[in-house]
Structure 1
Amino acid sequence: WNKVGTDGSPFVLMLVGLGIGGAATLLNVVVLTAALSVANVMTYSNARVLYDLASSGQAPRFLAHTNKRGVPVRALLLNSGFVAVAVLLNVVLPGKALAILIPVVVGAELITWSIIAVSHLRFRAREGVGLFKTPLSP
């Protein structure tokens, strides 16, 4: 534990230290595949959420456009633009981009989930449902 640094993942370092280099490579492939899968899912879902918001009038209307195959290209391009900004930030400020992006992302998440929580509490109060129910009840 006292030798973990920037030389690599602690799991990979442990496997290499045990003489199981092939397992370390396999672990790296699994982690990279998982990261690419998450990026793919987030790109898809972000584009669809932007499209849905635009379709219901809660986001700029130009994002509600789809091509003939039903792909929300404009929303996808907007999402890709944000990804490009993050990559560019990492190129321009290597080693500092994460320290800049994490507070922005965490702040946005806190705001989003706070609004969801307040909306849910207001909905329950309006419907006359108590704030708390028996555990595991619908």
Structure 2
Amino acid sequence: MIRVTGRISIGEDELTEDFLRASGPGGQNVNKLETAVQLRFAAMASPNLPEAVKARLVTLAGRRMTKDGVLVITAQRHRTRERNREDALQRLLDLLREAATPPPPPRRPTKPSRAAKARRVDEKTRRGATKRLRGGKPGDE
């Protein structure tokens, strides 16, 4: 079991990995070795994810989620297969953790109190008086 949060864990048997040739740096190995990793997680079929987390995951995943509800993460940043596997798993866990945190409650708009409005008007009046006292026309020296 892979621990995602304190309450959510996913089984290692729910993940499948495919290896493919990576683009980018790799020297002489780039055309010979399959170092890129494509990690697949059947999120919608997972019994370990609550429905609310699944709904948020669909939104967060965007194009990485297939129509069948399979989350596909491709990692090819590194030159070795092992580091790409770790990178893909870490990105999956980060995405699941983000989906597991519920959104904050919506902000309820409030109105300023009567005293706050009065303070604002008083401050405007004082500021205007200060500016008026500065005044004078050029050449009135």
Q: Tell me: higher relative CO, structure 1 or 2? Use CA pairs within 8 A at least 6 residues apart.
A: 2
Give TM class, smaller chain: under 0.3
Larger helix fraction of residues? 1
Quick check: which has more Rg, 1 or 2? Answer: 2
